[in-house]
Amino acid sequence: MYKRQVGDSVLGRNVNFGAGTNVANLRHDEEPVRMTVKGECVSTGRRKFGVVLGDGVKTGIDTSLNAGVTLSAGETTKPGAVVMQDR
């Protein structure tokens, strides 16, 4: 049985992770994760923070999501995508 853990993230309804999707939730440089909120880049105040995914987000196989990324409702990624900024 294959289990996927997504730490320190906020997930909407009906989110689907393609096989092998990775979610970063830790900054190794000791800096807090930054996110875009209302068009402004702000600190979460946390060294560990995953992603925010809206309702119905679907990731392709082997997608990588950077810490602090937001994907809006209904967004999809292609297989092998590396997502470094909000979509």
**Domain for residue 53, yes or no?**
yes
In this structure, what is the dihedral angle of CA atoms 5, 74, 53, 56, given to the nearest 10 degrees?
-40
Task: Indicate which CATH number applies to the domain containing 64.
Answer: 2.160.10.10
Domain that holds residue 14: 1-73
CA distance 16 to 45: 28
Residue 1 has pLDDT above 60, yes or no: no
What are the pLDDT digits (tens) for 17-63?
999 999 999 988 989 999 999 999 999 999 999 999 999 999 999 99
In terms of Cα–Cα distance, which of 46, 51, 48 is closest to 6? 51
Nearest-5° angle of CA 23, CA 66, CA 45?
100
**Domain for residue 34, yes or no?**
yes
Question: How buried is 33 (Cβ within 10 angstroms: 0-12 exposed, 13-18 middle, 19+ buried)?
Answer: buried
**Domain for residue 38, yes or no?**
yes
**Domain for residue 24, yes or no?**
yes
